[in-house]
Chain A
Amino acid sequence: MKIEKDRKGQELTLTLSGRLDTTTAPTLEQELQQSWNDISTLILELKELDYISSAGLRVILTAQKHMLKQGSMKLRNLSDNVREVFEMTGFADIMTIE
C-alpha cells in the first residue's frame, strides 16, 4: 500500500493505493496519528484502493471518531470492492462519502 500526503492548511488529504489489510493497516494508523492533531478536515482519497479488510476498517473508524471531535472526515472515490465492504458493514451510512 502507498500513502500520499497533501496538507493544505487545516485540511489533510491522504491518497491510498493498493491493499489496506491486516499487514498494511498499522502503517496508515501510524501516519494518521502523526498528522491528525492540528487539522480540521481529513480527506481520504481511495480511488486507487483495491482492497480493504477489517483491519483497514478499524483504522478508518478510529480516524472518523477522532475527526468527529475536531472537524470532519471525507472519503472520496471508493472503488467497487471497497464500497461493497463499506456497505456490508454499515460504514457507508456513518461516513461522508463523496
Chain B
Amino acid sequence: MIAPANGGDSMRNTFLKWLFAFIATAFALTFGISFLVQTRQARENAVLLIRLRISDARRQLSVTEGNLKRISEMTSAMALIKARAFAGFIEQSPELLTSREKLQEIRRMLDVDELHVSDQKGILIASVPEEYHGYDMASAAQSAAFLPAISDPSFEMVQEPQRKGSDSEMFQYAGVARIDQPGIVQIGYHPRRLMEAAQLADIRNIAAGFRIGTRGAIIICQNHQILSYGGANLSKTDLIAARINQENLLNQKIFRTHVGNQEFLGVAEKFRDYWIVGILPTNEMYLRRNSVVGVLVVVDLLLFALVFVLVSILVQKIVINGIYRINASLKKITSGNLEEKVQVTNTDEFKALSKGINATVAALKNAITETAARIDAELQFAHTIQVSGLPDPNPVFPQQVPFTLAASMKTAKEVGGDFYDYLLLDDDHLWFMIADVSGKGIPAALFMMTTKTLLHKLAEKGLSPKDIFEQSNREICARNKTGMFVTAWMGILELGSGRLECANAGHNPPLLLHADGSSEFLKIPPGLVLGGMETSKYRGSSLYLKPGDRIILYTDGVTEAQNPKGDFFAEKRFQQVMEKHNQASVTSQQLLAEINQAVSCFADGAEQADDITLLTLEFNGKTPTCLTLPAELEQLQSLQEFLEKHLLQAGISDKICSQLQLAAEEVFANIARYAYPAQAGNAGISLQILPHPKGKIILQFRDNGIPWNPLTKSPPDINLPADQRPVGGLGIFLVRKIMDDCLYQYQNNQNILTLTKYLPAE
C-alpha cells in the first residue's frame, strides 16, 4: 500500500526538500550573478571615478598653469614698469641716488625689496639695502645677465625667480637700462604671488588637494620617484613597497596593489613625463556593491521565502492533501473497511485516481464476497459433514434403555476439533466418550474425523477404555506427522449394574452429579494425551453409578471460556451451575442448554475461543418395562391393565395412576386410529418408574406408522362457550396438561413419543 512508511521520507518532505534545493540554487545563482555584475560595475565605477579625479587634477593643473603664466607675465610687466619708473625717477632727480632716505622712500613706493643702480662699468653706485653698494654686477652670473643694459638703452629683462639668501627664499630681479647715462637700474623683490601661483601650478602640489572617496589618493610619480601624494594614512614607504613608482606596474594602467595591509585599485595615466596615479581602497570601491548586494540578498531572501511558502502551500493543497486523503482512505480499506470510498475531486487526476481506486475496491469487494461465499458454503458443507459424522446429540435407542444421553457441540469456527461419541455395544453396555483435538479449524477437524473413526472401530471390537486408548495411541503416533494430539475421556457403562469402567487420556475430569444433589469431579489417574508418546500406558478405573446419577463430560472450551475481562469460566462456576440445575425436572437436554446458556452469559459477547462440547449421561437404574400391542382400540383395556399393575406395584398413587392412564389412552387411541391407515401394525409401550429423590415416570410410545407429530397440534381454546366449542381435539391437550414433559422424535421409521411425569416429593 501507499501509506507512508515509517522512516522513509514523506512525499511532502521530499517535495519540500527539492523545492528548497531549487530555490536555494536559484537564490545562489541570483546572488552570484548580481555579485559579479555589481563587482564589475563597482570596479568600472571606481576606475571611472579615479580617472575623473585624475582628469580633474589635470584640468586644474592646466588652469593653474594658465594662471601662472598670466601672473608671471603680469609680474614681469609690473617689474619692468617699476624698473622704468625708478629709472625715470633717477633721470629726473639724479641726486636721489645719494639719499638713503629717498631711495628707501622709492623702494616703499614701488613695493619692492631691493633697488640697485650701477654706473657704466656695472658697479653698483646706489643700493637698498646698502651693503650691495660697490658690488660688481659682472661678478656673478645672475647679476651679469643684466650687463647688456649698459650698452643697450632699450634693454629690459625680468629674471626667473631664484633662491636667495640664508632662508633660500625665491627672489626675482628685473632690470632696465638707465635713461640718464649708461648703467643698469635693477629692482629685486620677493615674487610672492608668482611663487604662490607657481606653487599652485606645480604638478607636485596637485596631489595633496585631491582625495578619491574617503581614503583614496592621487599620487604623482616621475622617474621612479614619488613626487607627491595626497590622502590620509599613506606613507611613502608603503607606496614604494606597493611599487607605485614602478613603470611596469603603471604601464598596466589599471592594477591592484597592496599599500600597507590594504588592497587598492590603481589607475595610472601618463601626463607629460609624470605619472598621475589614482588609488582607491577596494573595500571602499565595493562599499556600494556590498550595500546593493546586501539589499538584494534581503529582498531575494524574502522573495524566495515567499515563493517557497506559496509553492509548498499550493502543492500541499493541490497534491499532498489529496494524497493524504487517498492514503487515509486506503488505510481504512486495508484495515478491512471495503465500504470506504475515495473522494478526492479537486483535480482531474485525483478524480481519475479516486475513481480507479473505488472501482478496484469494488471489484475486490466482489471478489472477496464471492470467495467468502464459496468458502462459507464449503465450510458450511464441512460443518454438515462433521456434524453428520457425530452421533445424534439426543439419541433414542431402538429398545428402551435405562439412561438418557444428550450431547451438544458448539464449534468456535465452522468446523472444530472436539467430538463426542457413544455406542450401545450390546443390551447391557454403553460406550461413550468425549475428545478434544489440539488446535481448531480444518486441520483439527480432519484429525478429529480420523481419530473418531479409529476410536469407534476399536470400541466396536469390545475393548476396554484402557485398551482402546493404548491401541489408538500407538496408531495415532505411528502416522502423526503434524504433531497434533487428542485428549479424551472414555467410559463403558454396564446398564444392569451401573458399573462404569473408564479411562482418561489427558482430558478434563468429568463432573459427577449425584442423585442426592451433591457433585464431584471424577478424578481418575490420567494418562498422556493420545498421539503424544507411542509408549504411553493408560489406567482403567471403575466405579458404580447410582440411579439418578449424572455424569457430565466436557471439553476445556467450557471451563476456559473467557469474558471480556479475561476471566475464565472455570471448574468452580461450572460445578455451581450444574449443581443448581441438577433436579429431576431438568432433562439432560435442558441441563446442557443451561450450561451453554451460562457460558454464553458469562462470555458476555467475548469471542468464543474454543469449541464447547458437552455430553451428559443420566443413569436411570432400571431397564423399563415394555409392552407391545396391536394398534387397535380394542387393546386399550390391556394397556390400562398393564399400566395399573406396574404403577400400583411401584406404589404410585391412584390419582397419578388415573392421570397416566388417561394420557396413555389418548396417545394409544391416536395411534390406533391414525398410524396405520392401510395395514395393521403394532404399538410399543414402555414404562419406566424412577424412585426418589429424582422420582419420575417415563412413558414411551413407539409405532411404525405414518410419521406424525401429535405435539404440533394447536391446543383448543378452552374459554369458548359450549355452543362454539368444537367437540374434538381434547386428547393431546389433556396429555400435555397431565405430563410434565412431552418429546416427539421420528427415528428408524418410528414415531417415538416420550412422556415424562415428575413425581411430587413425598
Contact = CB atoms under 8 A, between A and B. Distances in A.
B698 interface: no
Nearest to A19: B640
20 contacts: A22-B633, A23-B636, A23-B637, A51-B658, A53-B669, A53-B731, A53-B734, A54-B666, A54-B731, A57-B730, A58-B727, A61-B722, A62-B727, A65-B727, A68-B723, A81-B658, A89-B718, A89-B737, A94-B722, A95-B722
Contacts of A50: 658
A2 B275 CA distance: 173
Interface string A23-51: 10000000000000000000000000011
Given A23-B636, A62-B727, A89-B733, A51 B669 contact: no
A82 B718 CA distance: 17
Interface string B516-527: 000000000000
Interface in A83-98: 84-85, 88-90, 93-95
Given A61-B725, A94-B721, A53 B666 contact: yes
Contact of B669 (A22, A65, A68, A89): A22
A85 B636 CA distance: 19
A2 to B, nearest CB: 16
Contacts of A89: 718, 730, 733-734, 737
B229 to A, nearest CB: 146
B715 to A, nearest CB: 10
Nearest to B737: A88
Interface in B629-667: 633-634, 636-637, 655, 658-659, 661-662, 665-666
B629 to A, nearest CB: 14
Contacts of B725: 61, 94
A96 to B, nearest CB: 10
B535 to A, nearest CB: 66
- SS class of chain B's interface: helix, strand, loop or mixed? helix
Interface in B713-762: 718-723, 725, 727-728, 730-731, 733-734, 737-738
A55 B719 contact: no
A50 B662 CA distance: 11
Contacts of B655: 80-81
Given A62-B727, A68-B722, 5 more contacts: A22-B669, A23-B637, A80-B655, A85-B662, A89-B733
Nearest to B665: A53
Interface of A: 21-23, 50-51, 53-55, 57-58, 61-62, 64-65, 68, 80-81, 84-85, 88-90, 93-95
B643 to A, nearest CB: 12
Contacts of B634: 23
Nearest to B722: A94
Contacts of B659: 84
A94 B717 CA distance: 12
A64 B662 contact: no
**5 closest residue pairs by CB, A with B:** A90-B718, A54-B731, A94-B722, A54-B730, A22-B669
Contacts of A68: 722-723
Interface of B: 633-634, 636-637, 655, 658-659, 661-662, 665-666, 669, 718-723, 725, 727-728, 730-731, 733-734, 737-738
B717 to A, nearest CB: 8
Given A90-B718, A94-B721, A22 B728 contact: no
B722 A54 contact: no
* Residue of B633, B718, B730, B731 with most chain A CB atoms under a 10 A cut-off: B730
Contacts of A62: 727
Contacts of A95: 722
A85 B738 CA distance: 9
Contacts of A65: 722-723, 727
Contacts of A93: 719
B647 to A, nearest CB: 14
Contact of B665 (A21, A61, A64, A94): A21
Nearest to B731: A54
Contacts of A64: 722
A90 B636 contact: no
Contacts of B633: 22-23
A55 B669 contact: yes
A61 B716 CA distance: 14
B457 to A, nearest CB: 50
A69 to B, nearest CB: 9
A23 B665 CA distance: 10
Given A50-B658, A53-B662, A80-B655, A58 B730 contact: yes
Contacts of B666: 53-54
A93 B721 CA distance: 8
* Residue of A53, A65, A94 with most chain B CB atoms under a 10 A cut-off: A53
Contacts of A22: 633, 636, 665, 669
A53 B666 CA distance: 7
Contacts of A23: 633-634, 636-637
A51 B723 contact: no
* Residue of A54, A58, A64, A85 with most chain B CB atoms under a 10 A cut-off: A54
B388 to A, nearest CB: 40
Nearest to B718: A90
Nearest to B726: A61
Given A22-B633, A23-B633, A80-B655, A61 B727 contact: yes
* Residue of B659, B721, B725 with most chain A CB atoms under a 10 A cut-off: B725
Contacts of B730: 54, 57-58, 89
A57 B661 CA distance: 15
Nearest to A64: B722
A23 B725 CA distance: 23
Contact of A85 (B723, B727, B734): B734
Nearest to B662: A53
Given A21-B636, A22-B636, A51-B662, A90 B723 contact: no
A21 B672 CA distance: 14
A43 B97 CA distance: 211
A54 B636 contact: no
Nearest to A55: B669
Contacts of B738: 88
Contacts of B723: 65, 68
* Residue of B637, B727, B737, B738 with most chain A CB atoms under a 10 A cut-off: B727
B198 to A, nearest CB: 162
Given A85-B734, A88-B737, A58 B728 contact: yes
Contacts of A84: 659
Contacts of A21: 636, 665
A81 B658 CA distance: 7
A88 B734 contact: yes
Contacts of B727: 58, 61-62, 65
A53 to B, nearest CB: 5
